[in-house]
Amino acid sequence: MKRLLRTTFLLPAILVFVLAACAGAEPQARTIDITIDGPDVQPAAIEVNQNDTLTLNLTSEHPILFHLHGYDIARQINPGETAVLEFEADATGRFTLGLHGELPKMDDMSEGDHEDEAHAADDGTVHEIDGWLQVQPR
The residue ranges that bind Cu ion (CB under 5 A) are 67, 98
Least spacing, CB of residue 42 vs Cu ion, in Å: 19
How many residues are listed for the chain in this entry? 138
Give 49 or 99: the residue with its C-beta nearer to Cu ion: 99
CB of 11 to Cu ion, least distance (A): 51
**Spatial distance between the Cα atoms of 75 and 91, rounded to a whole number of angstroms:** 19
**C-beta closer to Cu ion: residue 49 or 74:** 74
Rounded least distance, CB 22 to Cu ion, Å? 38
Q: Which residue's beta carbon is nearest to the bound Cu ion?
A: 98
Least distance (Å) between residue 113 CB and Cu ion:
9
